Each structure stands twice: as C-alpha cells, then as structure tokens.
Amino acid sequence: MPKCYYITTPIYYVNSVPHIGTALTTVAADITARYWKLRGHDVFFVTGTDENATKVAEAARSAGKEPQAFVDEISSEFRRIWDGLNIAYDDFIRTTEQRHVHAVQEVFDRLLKAGHIYRDKYEGWYDVSAETFFKESDLIDGKSPEGNEVRWVEEENYFFRLSAFQDRLLEHIENNPSFILPETRRNEVVSFIRQGLRDACITRSNAGWGIPVRGDESHVIYVWFDALINYITVAGWPDGEWQSTWPADVEWMGKDILVRFHATLWPAMLMGLGLPLPKTMVGHGWVLIGGEKISKTRGNVIAPLQIAADLSGRSGCSQDLAVDAVRYYMARTMPFDSDYTFTHEDFDLKFNSELVNDLSNGVHRVVSMTANFLRGEISAGGLDEAWVDRVRDEVTEFERSMAEFRIDTAISAALSIAQLMNKYIDEKKPWELNKSGALDDLNFVLRNLVWMAKACAGTFKPIAPVLSDRICDLIGSAKISDWDSVMQHDATNPIRVAAPTPIYNRLEKKKVDNETPEPNEQQEITIDDVMKLELRVARVLDAAPMPDSDKLMRLDLVVGDEKRQVLAGIAKQYTPESIIGRQVILIANLKPRKMRGLESQGMILAADGPGGEAILLQPDKDAPEGASVH
Ligand code: MSP
C-alpha cells in the first residue's frame, strides 16, 4: 500500500480552551495539509486532545465536574473552534478513546519486555502545570524552570531507559538535518542531549485518572509518555495497516514541547519499539500578548473566532471570509524562529494594507475595468511572457518555502503576486488604452491581469480557501483544485468575469481611542522617531549570491571600524561584481535577523523601481566610511 503524507499537530490539553497560540500550530498544519493535497498527495492530517493529564483531572474537580464529562465538553469545544477556523482534519484523536488506551498499554508492555523499562523509587519535583518532572538542581527559586509551582513526589515508579538512547539520538539528528526545524532549535536539542539524558519516570501512582499499567493498576502512565503515542495510535498501530501512514512526514508544534519531549523522549521510545522516526518536526516560536505567553491564569486568552467575528462586524464581510483573514494573519506573522507579539492594531494594519489594498482592491480593479471597458468579456489569446516569468519566480519561491515549512515566507511570495498585479495595472494603464481605443492591447493587458488574479487565488488557496474561491468566481475561472492549474492559461477561450464586487472593505479607524494609531493611514512621525534610525555610509567589501535564492545576495560591508554581514534582496538587479567597492547606506541599528541560516546585521537602502525592482541608494560622492546620514 503506498504511504500517505502524514501531518500532525500536538494534541491539546483540555484544561484550557483554544486560543490564538494553539490555533497558530493548527492553522500552520492545516495550510501544510491543504497545500500537499493540492499537489496531489494523499494527505492524512490529524489533530486531537490530550485528556489524561493530572492537571485536567484537577481542572475538572475545580469546575465541580466529573473528569470524563469535563473532557468531553472541552474536547468538543476544540472541535467546534477548529471547524470554525476551517481546519480540514481527517481524524481527531482523544487520548481517552479505547484505541489509544490499547496502543499505550501495548507500547508499555513491549518496552518492558525488551528491557527498556524498569521499576525504581522516584523522588523529585513535579510541575503539574507543565506535567514535567524536575531534579532539585533544576529548580529556580523553588519553582520549575518554567516558573510554575512544583510538588514533591516520592513513590515507586516505572522508568524508561532514555539515557541509553543518547548516542543514537545524536547520530540521527546529525545524519538528518531536516529532522528538527528550524536550525536554532535543532542546536538547542543537541546541547540538551549532550548535557546528558536522565532516565524518564513514566508512571504516577493511580489517583483515578489516566491509563493504568496493564497488570499493575496501582500506577497510571505518565501523560507525556501516553500523549506522544497518539501519533501512532491514529496510524492504526499496532493492529492496523499503520505502515501506510507512519512515519509522520511532519509533526508541527510550538518550541516549548520540542526539546524535552518530541525530539528526545519520543524518538527514543520509537527506537525502543523498532519503529521509524518522524521525518520532520517543526518547533515554531510563540505568539505573545503584551510580551507574555498566553494562558488562562494570566487572563490574556484571545479567541481566534472572536477576532473573526469582530472583523466581520467592522468590515462587513461574511464570517467565513473573516476567518480566512485570521488564518492569513496568523500564517503571515508565523513566528518560525523567534516569538511574535500579537496586537489588534497590527491585525487591522495588515488586513487593510495587504488583504484589502494589495489583494482585494487589485482583483476589484481588474474585474471592474473588464466590466467597464469590455462589457465583462476578454478575448482569447496569449500572455506577456516577461511578467509570466516574474509571477513564476514568486510561485517557485512559494513552493520552496512550503517545502521548508516556511509558511511566513510562502505568504510573502503569494502577496508579491498581488503586488505584481497592481504594478502591472499601474504600468500598463488600461484606462489609457481604453481611451485611445487600443482594443487589442487592452484585451491583452486585462487577460494578463485576470491570469495574475488566478495565480493569487492559487497561492492563497491553502491559506485562505474561501477567499481563493471568491477570487475565482469573480474572474470567471474554475476554483483551484490542483496545483498545476495555478500557472495554467487557456489561450483558446474568451474570459467572462462576474459583476465587480469588492471581497473585503477596509476597516475604518477605531473611534474609541484617539491615541490608537490609525490603520492604513500614513502616520506622521516626529524628529525623535527619525533620530532613532542609525543610518551610516558603508562600503561593500565582498558580495556573493546566496545558494537557493534568486533574490538574496550576501554582502560584507565595512562601516567605520566594524564589519557587517547583510543579506539584501538585490540579486535580480545587481551582480556581485557590479557592487563590490560601492558605497551604500546602511540602517545600522536594526535588530539582526536570520535568513536562510545566515544572520543579516542591518539593511541597506534602495528605492523601488517601476517594476518593484531595487535601485540602490549611494552617496553623491565618496563619503567617509561609517559617516552618519541624516
Ligand atoms: N498536550 C501537550 C502536547 C502533547 S503532544 C503529544 C501540550 N498541549 S498544550 O495545549 O499546552 O499546547 C499545545 C501546543 O500549542 C504546543 O505546541 C504549544 O507550544 C502551542 N501553543 C500554546 N500556546 C502557544 C502560544 N502562545 N504561541 C504559540 N504556540 C503555543 O503541550
């Protein structure tokens, strides 16, 4: 049986309700699933809930409910919210289901039989909130390294010989560079393992909640040991045709659960069972609110469907289009490497400038001009190859990013297509062609524009499926159902567009607070803001193209006494030879940023050319190296 493309999310604790943090992981996985489905893969995408934790039973008790009734309720709340966010999962696993209990007990028995599990006395600290065991020396000011309260645990328990897998784990990580992404996290995992792995305590005394150890019901299996097994339960292990699903092609998660659990305990368990390891695990950064992690106790939970409902109310779009805007925003700001602070202001700003201005208005301009100038019908014919190439470059960039699970950069490429569409309009000025009666040219230009709108619909399809279908309806095209159709063009049939109606309307400024920045308006800044920028004259010492990128060039700059490495998106316009030795203007106090594994330590200034190409700024005559620019 051929193997499917298997995608997982973590299974979520049911002591909390879904929020934009948990939604981020789920949306990222859903976008990955939709993309590979479009590309013709037999995708199996799974999410679910983690229900056997001590903290879940405690949350049930404090809500005055029976644990089972409590987990049933919250698990269905997760499903309701994922359905509302248009998450197209193929299976939903709950760890209280019999299929899972069976798989967990089977794993335990097999590892026990193989000598990977032994019994011993456990003495140590337990962080119920993170469901993690700690040694005395791990504690910081009497709390867990995560800052949670800990309680002393002293009992006979079962241990998994994690320490025995240390070398094999390191070897696997070294031999499989895409096993753990991003690279920064892989490094964290490697140094965590190198510090030495301790055997893991994998049971607790049975307090009436959890999966009992078969043959020793005085113990229940530790929730992390239990939860990780969900990924093979769903695949049908041990009885079904699990080989057609397992190993996972990608396991999505937040960075907090990668190092100790997914990248160490889990692969060691699989090694002990003689099962293959997941191909890739992605541990993305967090979404923060006001710089803090989201949690019910901090009271900073933001519900994703509430953002959508609010947007729908304010902008007048339907709830499903508003959900697409939320999905877009989450994926667009996806903190792959670092963390990201969510603000409603930034949401509004990006909605107005990207979804409304670039995409919705771009499509609306195309459909309106076709309706007004050509009564809605464009003649059959070919395309402008130079612009087809530009769009193709962005589609290729999108594909490359998706293959590396870089949803954020994939979206930049999708958005660039919308920006190209607007540039084409501005450059070709269809209204002038209409005025002068150049009908052939007008048809040609509008045909290209409709084709670009379809390429937008194609790249947006995995991210915002309803929005993509809406674009296709407007431009009279079939909905995108396979990836090949994204760049396809039918040169033999005329195009009939629908009546022009904008997809999204811009959000008007919030009236509540005069201090709130007004979205999408050019905000005025003061001289103090200007003074924050440290602009300096720098000279290019060396330059080289970046492998795997047709846009980026690596520049070695000298700024006074200092050397800087900067990655600049100028490779399409400049060759290394043409800029080595030149002076450029550098923003010298910009926070360094990692791109394709290299650090960019600043940004050089360039103007936008008519086609969006970079035109480098340079002093009028040679200036002292490192001189300030005002
Ligand atoms: N139940 C465990 C996972 C077991 S998987 C075998 C768990 N659950 S959780 O509900 O606490 O978190 C699930 C995932 O959501 C984690 O990957 C976590 O990082 C992610 N997020 C929770 N809050 C988050 C943010 N604020 N930002 C980004 N992701 C975060 O851990």
pLDDT at 218: 95
Q: Which DSSP letter does residue 354 get?
A: I
More confident residue, 550 or 77: 77
pLDDT at 522: 43
Residue-averaged pLDDT of the chain: 93
CA-wise closest residue to 127 among 109, 112, 147: 147
Average pLDDT over residues 239-253: 96
pLDDT at 271 over 90: yes
Average pLDDT over residues 25-47: 98
**Backbone φ/ψ region at 117: left (φ over 0), alpha (ψ -120 to 50), beta:** beta
C-alpha triplet 616, 620, 625: angle, nearest 5°: 80
3-state secondary structure of 155: strand
Q: Which residues contact 316 (CB under 8 A, 6 or more apart)?
A: 505
Average pLDDT over residues 159-168: 98
**Per-residue pLDDT tens digits for 471-508:** 999 999 999 999 999 999 999 999 999 999 999 999 97
Strands (DSSP E) contained in 388-547 are 495-496, 535-545
Average pLDDT over residues 327-332: 96
**CA of residue 309 to ligand 1 center, whole Å:** 24
Q: Which residues contact 456 (CB under 8 A, 6 or more apart)?
A: 359, 362, 363, 414, 417, 418, 421, 471
> Atom of ligand 1 at shortest distance to CA of 266?
6
**CA of residue 94 to ligand 1 center, whole Å:** 16
pTM of the model: 0.81
Average pLDDT over residues 526-534: 81
pLDDT at 521 over 50: no
Question: Cα–Cα distances in Å, from 58 out to 149, 222, 296?
Answer: 15, 15, 15
- Beta bridge partner(s), residue 117: 160
pLDDT at 254: 97
pLDDT at 211 over 70: yes
Question: Cα–Cα distances in Å, from 217 out to 106, 203, 210?
Answer: 15, 11, 10
pLDDT at 514 over 80: no
**Pocket lining: 293 vs ligand 1, CB cutoff 6 Å:** yes
pLDDT at 300: 85
Mutate to test the pocket of ligand 1, among 256, 284, 301, 334 (most ligand atoms within 8 A of CB): 256
CA-wise closest residue to 517 among 356, 309, 344, 355: 344
**Pocket lining: 256 vs ligand 1, CB cutoff 6 Å:** yes
pLDDT at 523: 56
**CA of residue 254 to ligand 1 center, whole Å:** 6
Q: Which residues contact 517 (CB under 8 A, 6 or more apart)?
A: 345, 349, 523
pLDDT at 510: 57
**Position 310: which residue type?**
D
Report the percentage of the chain scoring pLDDT > 70: 97
Half-sphere exposure of 59 (CA within 13 A, CB side): 21
- Beta bridge partner(s), residue 628: 536
3-state secondary structure of 539: strand
**Pocket lining: 92 vs ligand 1, CB cutoff 6 Å:** no
Average pLDDT over residues 595-621: 86
Least confident of 199-213, 223-237, 614-628: 614-628
More confident residue, 515 or 498: 498
Helix crossing, 98-113 with 266-273: angle to 10°?
70
pLDDT at 437: 96
Query: Do 400 and 507 touch, CB atoms closer than 8 A?
Result: no
pLDDT at 395: 98
Pairing mode, if any, of strands 5-13 and 250-254?
Answer: parallel
What is the spatial distance between Cα 456 and Cα 451, in angstroms, rounded to a whole number?
9
Query: Do 161 and 116 touch, CB atoms closer than 8 A?
Result: yes
> Atom of ligand 1 at shortest distance to CA of 294?
26
pLDDT at 515 over 80: no
Mutate to test the pocket of ligand 1, among 253, 260, 269, 281 (most ligand atoms within 8 A of CB): 253
**CA of residue 70 to ligand 1 center, whole Å:** 20
Average pLDDT over residues 364-373: 96
Half-sphere exposure of 94 (CA within 13 A, CB side): 15
**Pocket lining: 12 vs ligand 1, CB cutoff 6 Å:** yes
Q: Grade residue 59 by pLDDT with cuts at 50, 70 and 90.
A: confident
**Pocket lining: 294 vs ligand 1, CB cutoff 6 Å:** yes
Average pLDDT over residues 152-170: 96
**Per-residue pLDDT tens digits for 289-302:** 988 888 877 788 89
**CA of residue 320 to ligand 1 center, whole Å:** 25
Average pLDDT over residues 619-627: 86
pLDDT at 390: 98
- What is the residue with the minimal CA distance to atom 15 of ligand 1? 22
pLDDT at 623: 86
**Per-residue pLDDT tens digits for 442-482:** 999 999 999 999 999 999 999 999 999 999 999 999 999 99
Query: Do 93 and 230 touch, CB atoms closer than 8 A?
Result: yes
